[in-house]
Structure 1
Amino acid sequence: MSAAGADLYLGLISGTSADGIDAALVRFEDAPGRSPALRAELLYGHTFAWEPALRAHLVELGQRDAALTLDALGELDTRIAALFADTALRALEEAGVPAARVAAIGSHGQTLRHRPHGRHLDGRNRFSLQLGDPSLIAERTGIATVADFRRRDVAAGGQGAPLLPALHAALLQAPGEARAVLNLGGIANLTLLPAAGTPGAVRGFDTGPANGLLDAWCLRQTGAAFDRDGAFAAAGRVDPALLARLRAEPWFALAPPKSSGRDQFHLGWVEARLSGGEAPADVQATLVALTATTVADALHATLPETAQVIACGGGVHNPVLMAALAQALARPLVSSAEHGIDPDFVEAMGFAWLARQTLLGRPGNLPSVTGAAGPRVLGGIYPATPD
């Protein structure tokens, strides 16, 4: 599917927080029989900001049951794709890499809805919806584009998320030590890595909200898009009664496999649990505690022998969140940077890797993570524009 000499992959993703489009240009090399089993060299990584009005619209759509006309949905699909295509071209220009070197773009798109249990948690009409027309991306960039990764796993009975534990295992599983990878995006998720060579499958699942709620509450109360250095949370105190009401959410008690999104954990969900007298900074501090305690609860229940937790995602830059997590986890918590992996671009690297898996005809999911009926080659391939 790729041109001769094309040895690089470009991953594009806008996550649950919709804080920008991450682009990662990566070179991969298989290392069979070795640990780690994959080498990944990040040649370029950058986050490109959304247009402010469009980001606000995407966040609003994710916060509640917003209605879109078919015309508005189609136009949004095209608009997102155009920005993804522009991001790809700008990334290659800044990296000084010609399009001919890129075997494929792996485009996650922007999730608007993720309902792997069905809209009414009844198991019917399950779906995961990402926008960003891959045909337009392929047409504008001239590069084969792989997209729509989640729906095949959902069709096979899985959650469609998380999809990166297989990459985490290939890059970070080690002999003699059980590890967990903690992604702190809009939603927090764990990958559980038993020591290499020991019994036990790699597992992974979402644990609950992370930056999505923290950013949304901070924006609502301060006008800032995110809580820089955790200063807003640091100005408040954890409200035990509010924390108990938040933790009473039945979703937290669900057994893995499970996944979630902004359409479940949004400002309306928080506001429905407020008494009305809470100070805004105390709510922010309590949301930090919610992330820390739900992550710790999940890890202690599923891989208590974990020797270290390796964190990635935007949350690693929030020292208040990281301190709360370290206390709750009661074990070493380090950034993926200490293992040579830029924490800001793990997800974008993951979708570059998933594009490579698809082109090679290899599965991208782990049934032990998503609950799918079996391994599946994920996504559709949208060929490069003919010369």
Structure 2
Amino acid sequence: MDVIRTAIGLMSGTSMDGIDVALIRTDGRGFIDRGPFLGVPYEADFRGQLKRALELARPLTDRNGRSAELRDIELELTQRHAIAVAAFLERFGLAADAVDVLGFHGQTVLHRPDEGLTVQIGDGQELARQTGIPVVYDMRANDMVHGGQGAPLVPAYHAALAGKFQQAGQAVCFVNIGGISNLTFIGTDGRISAFDSGPGNTLIDQWVEMQTGKTYDPGGEIAGRGKVVAALAERYLDNPFFRGNVRRSLDRGDFAPLRDGEASLEDGARTLAHVAAAAIVKSAGFLPESPSIYIVCGGGRLNATVMAEFSARAEALGSHVLTAEQAGFDGDAMEAEAWGYLAVRSLDGLPLTFPGTTGVTAPVSGGMLARP
């Protein structure tokens, strides 16, 4: 009989806006009981430190060749995750010993899949010590050792969630619009295909912060007042990433931000919202078949401008678009839930990635286990 464990997943994504904490009870297979969720935002000063970490990581050629300054940021990030776990447990009346494992993503500061190099800062052993809970961390590295891109990892969880749609004979595509957007396709035959689809929120966030000091465009309101600057949009959508049949994972630095003065605030935001939506549809052209349903999660689903354009483009091709909530899920919690799910799979030695998701040569498990 498969063992059902209680896991907490911890996610700090490419948007660098905070820590998502979610609880899940699962056997790492088909049984999923979703629990509570808590978002813990970063304040501006620490977001600045994480941006500094991206600069410090840029020259790295080795996963372990980290400067003292980068290690200091890593320790601060780890401590913030420990505090987030403690806040979560207190908020929902849980004891640490009621949790079997933490799934710890850390913060990606460098991802160069063509070089077999990915760097996530976050000290799993220190997190286990501070929380008193076993931690599974560093879940991308083993995939890359075996020829994979190291991303995306969430598809194993998406596939588990897709069961009710597959029973209705529908091909489902989960769209996560985070800093970078990615797709997970589960065909009518159960086959999984997944890959990064292009820039999501990152370019919009960078532009709005440059122009206004705000960290994002709330609800897509700024973009809603602008118009698409075609030449700028095509500059992004003509990127070689969108050509050829070989899909690869992206780093947030793969698409350069708009330069100051290239557009008005509103037109720049609208153009980048257009790019985010069009990139999804363009990349979906590489899927094995056209999805019956798109299920959208991640922060980008709250940008009404992105969603309106994506929905219109998808509906024109015969696909129906739902938010995660409309499909019965929690779009804020899904990635963190996935990290808890993957931690349980790691404990059981089950595959985290597959040839159709990361390009790994064969299904492979991964992750390191740290005990308190």
Indicate whether the TM-score tops 0.5. Answer: yes
- Alignment match, 2:274: 289
1:146-203 Cα distance to aligned partner (Å, 9 max, x none): 00001110111101100011111111141311111100111111111101xx2x7310
- Alignment match, 2:63: none
Contact 1:23 1:348 in 2 (8 A): yes
1:304-361 Cα distance to aligned partner (Å, 9 max, x none): 4311100111111111110011112222110111232100011000100011001112
- Alignment match, 2:325: 337
Query: Structure 1 residues 63, 182: CA separation in 2 closer, same or farther (over 3 Å shift)?
Result: farther
The structure 1 residue matched to 2:72, chosen from 65, 70, 75, is 75
Query: Structure 1 residues 172, 63: CA separation in 2 closer, same or farther (over 3 Å shift)?
Result: farther
- Alignment match, 1:123: none
The structure 2 residue matched to 1:84, chosen from 75, 81, 84, is 81
- Alignment match, 1:57: 49
Contact 2:53 2:70 in 1 (8 A): no
- Alignment match, 2:24: 26
Query: Structure 1 residues 259, 277: CA separation in 2 closer, same or farther (over 3 Å shift)?
Result: closer
Structure 1 unpaired stretches of 5+: 31-36, 119-125
Q: List structure 1 runs of 4+ shifted beyond 6 angstroms.
A: none
- Alignment match, 1:168: 158
Contact 1:63 1:262 in 2 (8 A): no
Q: Could you say what secondary structure the match of 1:337 adopts?
A: coil
Residues 110-125 of structure 1 correspond to what in structure 2 (within 5 A)? 110-118=107-115
Shift of 1:74: 1.4
Query: Structure 1 residues 376, 301: CA separation in 2 closer, same or farther (over 3 Å shift)?
Result: closer
CA distance in 1, matches of 2:231, 2:4: 56
CA distance in 2, matches of 1:214, 1:63: 20
- Alignment match, 1:305: 290
Structure 2 unpaired stretches of 5+: 61-65
- Alignment match, 1:183: 176
Q: Does 1:131 align with 2:121?
A: yes
Q: Could you say what secondary structure the match of 2:11 adopts?
A: strand
The structure 1 residue matched to 2:105, chosen from 108, 113, 123, is 108
Shift of 1:38: 2.2
Contact 1:186 1:209 in 2 (8 A): yes
- Alignment match, 2:369: 381
Shift of 1:278: 2.1
CA distance in 2, matches of 1:70, 1:277: 36
Q: Does 1:264 align with 2:262?
A: no
User: Which residue type is aligned with residue 192 of structure 1?
Assistant: F
Query: Structure 1 residues 48, 258: CA separation in 2 closer, same or farther (over 3 Å shift)?
Result: same
CA distance in 2, matches of 1:60, 1:184: 24
CA distance in 2, matches of 1:376, 1:280: 45
The structure 2 residue matched to 1:350, chosen from 338, 341, 362, is 338
Query: Structure 1 residues 65, 78: CA separation in 2 closer, same or farther (over 3 Å shift)?
Result: closer
Q: Could you say what secondary structure the match of 1:111 adopts?
A: strand
The structure 2 residue matched to 1:145, chosen from 117, 135, 154, is 135
Q: Could you say what secondary structure the match of 1:376 adopts?
A: coil
Query: Structure 1 residues 12, 194: CA separation in 2 closer, same or farther (over 3 Å shift)?
Result: same
Shift of 1:66: 5.2
Q: Could you say what secondary structure the match of 1:363 adopts?
A: coil
> TM-score scaled by structure 2?
0.91
Query: Structure 1 residues 345, 319: CA separation in 2 closer, same or farther (over 3 Å shift)?
Result: same
Contact 1:6 1:102 in 2 (8 A): no
Shift of 1:42: 2.4
Shift of 1:61: 4.2
Q: Could you say what secondary structure the match of 2:285 adopts?
A: helix
- Alignment match, 2:186: 193
CA distance in 1, matches of 2:245, 2:18: 31
- C-alpha RMSD of matched pairs (Å): 2.0
- Alignment match, 1:327: 312
CA distance in 2, matches of 1:139, 1:60: 26
Q: Could you say what secondary structure the match of 1:224 adopts?
A: coil
> TM-score scaled by structure 1?
0.88
Residues 210-249 of structure 1 correspond to what in structure 2 (within 5 A)? 210-249=200-239
